[in-house]
């Protein structure tokens, strides 16, 4: 069992570059099957979720190769239209392949995705969007069986009850294979949606509106291969910023769009960090003890990102004053709190509300990650703690952070993987 061994109390200094966004790579890889050609995708981190996506593509009949951070997908011929249970379990967001498989082959069979560490993630919105396009979907023996009784999907109006990122992406991919125009209202506005649109445009699709609440797709185009560079991972950037806020010091985070992280940097600035931003970098400096901040409420983009909540909370455990966090996105987003409290943090949780009463110091100890972002929060806390921490459960962290220990060592952190 691998673990991070962290010697806390060392200020971080230097420069770090952010790798490609996990939440952007996955739908883009799913989109490669829409075309009968070769797609080249750059800036793809070697994450476990990315490897699972490659396994799904290969099962479907694609030829996939990786050179460094570039993945090449030849989707000229598909031999399968299903995602078996074993592959669905490797990556919980595998349902993103549904719309693309259906658009390419006219039918699809996927195992029902389960919940995750953050609680159940219903796919009702995904299925409702695809049904609106004319698909027939039935559940049979734990599988989703999808077909097109009319022989094709037809453009329509899709109104999402909540701005789900996954449902927006699935609807966009399916709509590329529909005849006519599809209008997706109350669409998610996350930057990763904009990145997916950019890739679809490179394939020859007609898509507009990504980044707003209305996305329009004109389907029916014959798509070709394309080339695209994945956007930087804004949550990795938020984690590195939180790490400096926790450990102290000064660092420059390169390859990130400060506009996508304005809610996070505003909180860190209010807590006492000095923040400076440029076209593709953010610098952060923290000297004294942090201060409690006004209530943080997670929300869909452009609100405070739920994925940034755990590492920011970890940094604020050592502060003067009290901070209240309201988690509006996931019901089980506080699984890291008990581990932080074992380090000496004073955090009280009631439902979706967490109250962080700042303490002067944390103590290093044995810790176990229970989910992806919660695991990152434990690393952030350990960097600012006194003594040594041993963090297990790295399979969770590896889903979204590539070489996190190497990146932090580059900033002077005392962290190794054993």
Q: Binding residue per annotation — 122?
A: yes
Measured between alpha carbons, how far is 412 from 275 in angstroms, rounded to an integer? Answer: 20
Q: Nearest CA to 47 among 416, 418, 403?
A: 403
3-state secondary structure 393-409: CHHHHCCCCCCHHHHHH
Q: Binding residue per annotation — 104?
A: no
Could you say which of 62, 116, 156, 341 is catalytic? 116
Extract the tokens encoding 234.
Answer: 């804004």
Check: CB of residue 104 under 8 Å from CB of residue 174.
Answer: no
Q: Binding residue per annotation — 371?
A: no
The DSSP line for 343-402 is TT-EEEEETTEEEEE--S--B--EEE--SHHHHHHHHHHHHTSBSEEEEE-HHHHTTT-S
Give residue 361's Cα distance to chain centre.
30
Q: Binding residue per annotation — 124?
A: yes
How many CB atoms are closer than 10 A to CB 84?
A: 14
Measured between alpha carbons, how far is 231 from 214 in angstroms, rounded to an integer? Answer: 21
Measured between alpha carbons, how far is 98 from 95 in angstroms, rounded to an integer? Answer: 5
Q: Binding residue per annotation — 12?
A: no
Q: Binding residue per annotation — 159?
A: no
Enumerate the H helices of 16-107 as residue ranges. Answer: 22-31, 48-60, 85-90, 97-105
Q: Binding residue per annotation — 92?
A: yes
Residue whose entry in the numeric block shows the structure tokens 């998610």: 188
CA angle centred on 311, ends 307 and 317, rounded to 5°: 140
116 is catalytic: yes
Measured between alpha carbons, how far is 11 from 239 in angstroms, rounded to an integer? Answer: 15
Q: Nearest CA to 385 among 360, 361, 413, 359?
A: 361
Kindly give, in sequence order, each residue whose CB lies less than 8 Å from that of residue 396, ignoring residues fewer than 6 positions away. 117, 369, 370, 371, 372, 374, 375
Q: Binding site for UDP-N-acetyl-alpha-D-glucosamine: residue ranges?
A: 92, 121-125, 307, 329
**What are the residue numbers of the active site?**
116
Q: Which residues are annotated as a binding site for phosphoenolpyruvate?
A: 22-23
Which residue numbers belong to the known binding site? 22-23, 92, 121-125, 307, 329
């Amino acid at each position: 069992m691998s673990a991070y061994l962290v010697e806390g109390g060392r200020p971080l200094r230097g420069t770090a570059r952010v790798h490609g966004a996990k939440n952007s790579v996955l739908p883009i890889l799913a989109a490669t099957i829409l075309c009968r050609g070769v797609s080249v995708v750059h800036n793809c981190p070697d994450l476990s979720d990315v490897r699972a996506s490659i396994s799904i593509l290969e099962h479907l009949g694609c030829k996939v190769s990786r050179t460094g951070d570039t993945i090449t997908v030849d989707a000229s011929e598909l031999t399968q239209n299903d995602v078996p249970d074993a592959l669905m379990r490797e990556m919980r967001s595998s349902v993103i392949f549904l719309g693309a498989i259906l658009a390419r082959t006219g039918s699809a069979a996927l195992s029902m995705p389960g919940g995750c560490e953050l609680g159940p993630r219903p796919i009702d919105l995904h299925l409702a969007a695809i049904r609106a396009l004319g698909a027939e979907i039935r559940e049979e023996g734990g599988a989703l069986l999808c077909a097109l009784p009319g022989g094709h999907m037809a453009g329509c109006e899709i109104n999402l009850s909540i701005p789900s990122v996954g449902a927006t992406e699935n609807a966009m991919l399916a709509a590329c294979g529909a005849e006519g125009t599809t209008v997706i209202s109350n669409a998610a506005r996350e930057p990763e949606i904009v990145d997916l649109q950019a890739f679809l445009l490179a394939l020859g699709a007609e898509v507009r509106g990504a980044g707003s609440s209305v996305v329009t797709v004109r389907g029916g185009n014959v798509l070709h291969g394309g080339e695209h560079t994945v956007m930087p991972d804004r949550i990795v950037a938020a984690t590195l910023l939180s790490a400096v806020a926790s450990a102290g010091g000064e660092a420059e985070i390169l390859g990130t769009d400060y506009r996508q992280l304005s809610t996070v940097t505003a909180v860190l600035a209010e807590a006492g960090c000095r923040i400076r931003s440029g076209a593709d970098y953010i610098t952060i400096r923290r000297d004294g003890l942090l201060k409690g901040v006004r209530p943080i409420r997670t929300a869909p983009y452009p609100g405070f990102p739920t994925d940034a909540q755990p590492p920011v909370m970890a940094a604020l455990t050592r502060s003067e004053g009290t901070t209240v966090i309201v988690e509006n996105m996931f019901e089980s987003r506080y699984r890291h709190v008990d581990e932080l409290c074992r380090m000496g943090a004073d955090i009280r949780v009631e439902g979706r509300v967490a109250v962080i009463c700042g303490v002067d110091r944390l103590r290093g100890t044995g810790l176990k990650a229970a989910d992806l972002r919660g695991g990152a929060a434990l690393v952030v806390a350990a960097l600012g703690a006194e003594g040594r921490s041993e963090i297990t459960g790295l399979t969770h962290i590896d889903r979204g952070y590539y070489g996190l220990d190497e990146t932090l060592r580059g900033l002077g952190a005392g962290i190794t993987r054993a």
